């Protein structure tokens, strides 16, 4: 019987592609595309970006000698063809599943994942590092970076192009230009790339063109020869030199990123060129799957879908935190003309699509430029505007110094909205928002909040929009959270916690434990309190609301009464909420009280479904109840 993937099933390593004819490589590309379609429709994952890189990957891997040559992928969300061409077909069905293949590149997943990523804009820097390492060690391998038209607009990419243009090391950058970020791409560079794209597609680069042309004595002949071979470097810069050439890179393009025979020819020539080379490939996001080509945003990252009907069936659920923020942000902006919203390339992910549509003059998508987003917001705030700066917890790490240096030192009222705080699930360690409490709460002047549910996020958003005394930040998880908490609540007030009490009946003299929880963990603590009540232990739940300033008075009063404290947070322990509570207790002479800090471990948590990995690290109700009962002296563990 013919195998399902006649060619792909034979590929164990990229050099296996060298044995195939052009026609067979074309068949292989078709199989790679089919493998992505069939698999991602079942597992979910990044979709349209991967359909767009099939021919580029096949052409590169068929021409370069990998290993020892190295390809560095930017972000890694478009590298499924790379996974398939490096012998991972048999494990492809485990993509993004717990203990299965990662959705990104990981050095410990495969030797040819030479540089891991998840955040955008790192590939050119890393590739330049590989090139300089090679030159230093005297080895001979070729180095290629592949980046996207949105990722290349990030500051780091330009820092690397700037450095590489001066270094003149042998390195190739392939720009996979599909005109799209997750949303439509933004910025002036996008317009510039569009102008380059409008040039006719290159058909070939003659073998060693550059070396040959360089030896031509007559400048006119040299220019003509350069043009013929798509090397415009020899033209007068003021007329046609691209910005890349001006910066010392050989510009080759535009090339049709789906025309495999041409790509094979171009890469086999690029491979032997010396110095930094920039190949501009034009691709179509979603290539080969009509609906994805038409709506690349919707199909950028998908949940499992039906291949026959193209239906993505998302179970109707409660309003997500993302949606709650988006709606509240718009209410704030509609009520106050000084309120604006900022995103760094994530209008959809941060819930701001409707805001952008309804209030276009008050909405800024700055592209993959978190550092700029933060300082832009700081400037706006200094200029009298109220900016709501919506950046995922993990991506705000990029803007650490900007938050500290531009916002906090100057006590500017920038409001940060950090979606995807805590464990995000299938995207894994590059995307978990595990550190924001630590990296924000030690900054003087910062006010840091976390809501217990989406209603509280709405209230906090309004409260923050009206708070002009300095910077504020709120963290909230991916998804809708757990709405099984009492609805009634006091209004938000600076530095005040909410005491939720005990979930369930206990005897009057029952032993008591204070469960001090923050954000997403409040509902989990509430559930744990219910479990504890069944064991005759009163778990008094306090919803911190503010990590900083902490409501030390309330927490210490309750702790004194209960005599034991458990803190629960979806952040690493070091520098986190629990340590702040422990310090507050010690400061009030309660350092002797037994305290257990339940937090994320001091390791990078792998990918997997949110409930699964939360349970694995002890952030589920049974684990919390068991830990609390142990602290109360109950040996009987609730878990299991
Ligand atoms: C620093 C950072 N900010 C935001 C993101 C979220 N993100 C993932 S992919 C992507 C768009 C990338 O677009 P592009 O580079 O053009 O690649 P394409 O998906 O179009 O192939 C964004 C914004 C990220 N991964 N890293």
Output the residue whose Cα is nearest ligand 1's atom 23.
345
Give the pLDDT score at 640: 37
Q: Which atom of ligand 1 is nearest to the CA of 121?
A: 1
Number of H helices, E strands in the chain: 25, 19
Output the residue whose Cα is nearest ligand 1's atom 4.
368
Out of 349-358, 393-402, 479-488, 545-554, least confident range = 479-488
Give the pLDDT score at 3: 78
Residues 6+ apart with CB under 8 A from 423: 432, 434, 477, 570, 600, 605, 610, 613, 614, 617, 619
Distance 347 CA to ligand 1 centre (A): 12
- Domains of the chain, start order: 8-198+248-302 (3.40.50.970), 321-475 (3.40.50.970), 499-631 (3.40.50.920)
Distance 366 CA to ligand 1 centre (A): 13
| pLDDT tier for residue 584 given thresholds of 50, 70 and 90 | very high
Q: Which atom of ligand 1 is nearest to the CA of 345?
A: 23
What are the angstrom distances between the C-alpha of 392 and each of 90, 419, 431, 556?
33, 5, 9, 32
Give the pLDDT score at 509: 85
Enzyme catalytic residues: 285, 370, 398
| Cα 331 to Cα 461: distance, rounded to the nearest angstrom | 10
| pLDDT tier for residue 637 given thresholds of 50, 70 and 90 | very low
Q: Is residue 221 pLDDT above 90, yes or no? A: no
Q: Is residue 120 pLDDT above 80, yes or no? A: yes
Give the pLDDT score at 239: 46
For 358-368, write each residue's pLDDT tens digit. Answer: 999 999 999 99
Give the pLDDT score at 236: 42
Distance 446 CA to ligand 1 centre (A): 28
Give the pLDDT score at 205: 72
Give the pLDDT score at 430: 97
The binding-site residues of ligand 1, defined as CB within 6 angstroms of any ligand atom, are 49, 75, 77-78, 119-121, 148-151, 176, 178, 180-182, 285, 344-345, 368, 370, 395, 398
Give the pLDDT score at 314: 74
Per-residue tokens: 487: 């609805």
Distance 449 CA to ligand 1 centre (A): 27
| pLDDT tier for residue 381 given thresholds of 50, 70 and 90 | very high
| pLDDT tier for residue 220 given thresholds of 50, 70 and 90 | low
Output the residue whose Cα is nearest ligand 1's atom 9.
182
Using most ligand atoms within 8 A of CB, pick from 52, 104, 118, 120 the residue to mutate for ligand 1: 120
Give the pLDDT score at 476: 98
Per-residue tokens: 116: 């891991």
Q: Is residue 344 pLDDT above 70, yes or no? A: yes
When pLDDT is averaged across residues 497-518 and rounded to a whole number, the result is: 92
| pLDDT tier for residue 10 given thresholds of 50, 70 and 90 | very high
Phi, psi of 595 (to 5 degrees): -135, 135
Out of 208-212, 555-559, 591-595, least confident range = 208-212
Supply the pTM of this predicted model: 0.94
For 444-464, write each residue's pLDDT tens digit. Answer: 999 999 999 999 999 999 999
When pLDDT is averaged across residues 489-508 and rounded to a whole number, the result is: 93
Burial of 463 by CB count in 10 Å (0-12 exposed, 13-18 middle, 19+ buried)?
A: buried
Q: Which atom of ligand 1 is nearest to the CA of 283?
A: 21
| pLDDT tier for residue 41 given thresholds of 50, 70 and 90 | very high
């Amino acid at each position: 019987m013919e195998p399902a993937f006649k060619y792909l099933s034979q590929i164990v390593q990229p050099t296996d592609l060298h044995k195939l004819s052009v026609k067979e490589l074309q068949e292989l590309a078709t199989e790679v595309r089919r493998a992505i379609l069939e698999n991602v429709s079942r597992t979910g994952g990044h979709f349209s970006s991967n359909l767009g890189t099939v021919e580029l990957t096949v052409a590169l891997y068929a021409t370069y000698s990998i290993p020892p040559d190295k390809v560095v992928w930017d972000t890694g969300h478009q590298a499924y063809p790379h996974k398939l061409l490096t012998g991972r077909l048999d494990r492809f069905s485990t993509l993004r599943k717990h203990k299965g293949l990662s959705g990104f590149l990981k050095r410990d997943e495969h030797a040819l994942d030479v540089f891991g990523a998840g955040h955008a804009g790192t590939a050119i820097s890393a590739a330049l590092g590989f090139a300089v390492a090679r030159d230093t060690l005297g080895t001979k391998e070729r180095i290629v970076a592949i980046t996207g038209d949105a990722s290349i607009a990030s500051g780091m990419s330009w820092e690397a192009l700037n450095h590489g243009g001066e270094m003149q090391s042998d390195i190739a950058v392939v720009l996979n230009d599909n005109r799209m970020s997750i949303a439509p791409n933004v910025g002036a560079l996008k317009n510039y790339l569009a102008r380059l794209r409008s040039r006719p597609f290159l058909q070939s680069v003659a073998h060693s063109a550059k070396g040959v042309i360089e030896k031509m004595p007559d400048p006119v002949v040299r220019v003509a020869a350069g043009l013929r071979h798509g090397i415009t470097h020899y033209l007068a810069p003021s007329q046609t030199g691209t910005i890349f050439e001006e910066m010392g890179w050989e510009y080759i393009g535009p090339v049709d990123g789906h025309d495999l025979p041409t790509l094979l020819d171009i890469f086999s020539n690029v491979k032997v060129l010396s110095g930094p080379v920039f190949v501009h490939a034009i691709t179509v996001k979603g290539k080969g799957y009509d609906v994805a080509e038409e709506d690349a945003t919707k199909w950028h990252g998908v949940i499992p879908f039906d291949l026959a009907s193209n239906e993505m069936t998302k179970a109707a659920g409660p309003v997500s935190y993302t949606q709650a923020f988006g709606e509240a942000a718009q209410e704030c902006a509609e009520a106050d003309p000084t309120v604006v919203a900022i995103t760094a390339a994530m209008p959809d992910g941060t819930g701001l699509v409707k805001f952008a549509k309804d209030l276009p003059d008050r909405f800024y998508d700055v592209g993959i430029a978190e550092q700029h987003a933060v300082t832009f917001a700081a400037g706006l705030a200094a200029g009298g505007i109220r900016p709501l700066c919506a950046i995922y917890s993990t991506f705000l790490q990029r803007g650490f110094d900007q938050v500290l240096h531009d916002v906090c030192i100057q006590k500017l009222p920038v409001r940060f909205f950090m979606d995807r705080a805590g464990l995000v699930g299938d995207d894994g360690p590059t995307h978990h928002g595990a550190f924001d409490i630590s990296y924000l709460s030690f900054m003087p002047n910062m006010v840091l909040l976390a809501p217990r549910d989406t209603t509280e996020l709405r209230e906090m958003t309004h409260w923050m929009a009206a708070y002009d005394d300095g910077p504020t930040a709120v963290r909230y998880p991916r998804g809708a959270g757990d709405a099984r908490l009492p609805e009634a609540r006091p209004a938000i007030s600076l530095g005040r916690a909410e005491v939720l009490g005990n979930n369930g009946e206990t005897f009057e003299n029952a032993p008591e434990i204070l469960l001090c929880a923050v954000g997403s963990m409040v509902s989990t603590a509430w559930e744990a309190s219910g479990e504890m009540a069944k064991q005759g232990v009163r778990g008094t739940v306090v919803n911190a609301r503010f990590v900083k300033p902490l409501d030390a008075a309330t927490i210490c009063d309750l702790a004194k009464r209960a005599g034991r404290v458990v803190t629960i947070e979806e952040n690493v322990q070091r520098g986190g909420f629990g340590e702040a509570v422990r310090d507050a207790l010690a400061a009030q002479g309660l350092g002797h009280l037994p305290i257990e800090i339940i937090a994320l471990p001091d390791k990078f948590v792998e990918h997997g479904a949110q409930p699964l990995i939360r349970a694995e690290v002890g952030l589920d109700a049974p684990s919390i109840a068991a830990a609390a009962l142990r602290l109360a002296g109950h040996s009987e563990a609730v878990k299991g």
